[in-house]
């Protein structure tokens, strides 16, 4: 909350403040780590309380406010579905009773976070890779790359899980892996990729609003720095 107040007190220099903060504090990446339920998340799930959200797809829709996906669709429970283990009510080594987000023929899937809907960009984001099907050179196995992007859509870096997978097309959960990132200036996008497969699943897109990210148009600050806030809230104009 401190930086939010700082923004109110010095709104005219807000762009500079957060630009400097973003470059001065490197993002922190987490994973790949084992994950069978939200309890395994290394993010600040408890500390953020009602400011932490998880999209587990179990209601059959990607409908957590503020998230959109570049491509893909939901897989319903089936022998070939590989949800996070606990989503079917039992951590028992199987994810076939839950739902996931499917890559649907793409090597990369991005999730975008909308600061205008959320009030600010999330300061921490995670996702769980749960399965590969057809893959090269070995079905069911492959490298998984997680990349995150800041409030200016500049890459914060990436981490790679090498040869993830159990080699099957089914719903085993031992190989499921969490990837995440924290960045105080905000995260606008994450991308999960499998260079060797376009037939893979992910689950538990999760994010926390830590109150320190870029705030597009905080009403309480409106009279303190209208000019700077207009710059933050507006799309940039291109003159070329």
Binding site for Ca ion (CB under 5 A): 56-57, 82-83, 85, 87-88, 90, 92, 94, 98-99, 130-131, 173, 176, 203
Q: Closest distance between Ca ion and the C-beta of residue 145, in Å?
A: 18
Question: Which residue number, 28 or 64, has a Cβ lying nearer to Ca ion?
Answer: 64
Per the listing, tokens 């990132």 go with 181
Q: Do 225 and 11 touch, CB atoms closer than 8 A?
A: yes
Tokens of 184: 């105080």
Q: Closest distance between Ca ion and the C-beta of residue 37, in Å?
A: 9
Question: Which residue number, 35 or 149, has a Cβ lying nearer to Ca ion?
Answer: 35
Question: Which residue number, 92 or 167, has a Cβ lying nearer to Ca ion?
Answer: 92
- CA geometry: angle 32, 119, 103, nearest 5 deg: 40
Q: Closest distance between Ca ion and the C-beta of residue 31, in Å?
A: 15
Residue 26 CB neighbours (<10 A): 10
Question: Which residue number, 44 or 96, has a Cβ lying nearer to Ca ion?
Answer: 96
Cis link prior to 223 (omega < 30° from 0)? no
Q: How many residues does the chain have?
A: 240
Q: Closest distance between Ca ion and the C-beta of residue 196, in Å?
A: 16
């Amino acid at each position: 909350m401190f930086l939010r107040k700082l923004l109110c007190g010095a709104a005219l220099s807000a762009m500079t403040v957060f630009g400097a903060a973003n470059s001065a504090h490197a993002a922190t990446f987490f994973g790949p780590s084992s994950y069978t339920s939200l309890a395994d998340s290394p993010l600040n799930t408890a500390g953020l309380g009602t400011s932490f959200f998880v999209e587990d797809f179990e209601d059959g829709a990607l409908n957590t406010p503020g998230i959109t996906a570049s491509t893909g669709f939901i897989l319903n429970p089936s022998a070939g579905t590989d949800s996070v283990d606990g989503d079917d009510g039992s951590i028992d080594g199987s994810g076939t009773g839950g739902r996931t987000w499917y890559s649907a023929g793409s090597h990369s899937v991005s999730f975008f976070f909308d600061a205008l809907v959320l009030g600010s960009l999330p300061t921490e984001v995670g996702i769980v890779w749960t399965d590969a099907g057809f893959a090269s050179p070995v079905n069911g196995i492959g490298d998984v790359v997680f990349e995150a992007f800041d409030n200016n859509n500049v890459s914060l870096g990436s981490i790679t899980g090498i040869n993830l997978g159990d080699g099957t097309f089914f719903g085993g959960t031992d190989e499921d892996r969490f990837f995440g990132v924290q960045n105080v200036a905000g995260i606008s996008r994450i991308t999960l990729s499998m260079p060797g497969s376009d037939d893979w699943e992910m689950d538990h897109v999760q994010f926390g609003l830590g109150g320190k990210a870029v705030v597009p148009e905080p009403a309480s600050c409106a009279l303190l720095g209208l000019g700077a806030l207009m710059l933050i809230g507006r799309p940039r104009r291109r003159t070329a």
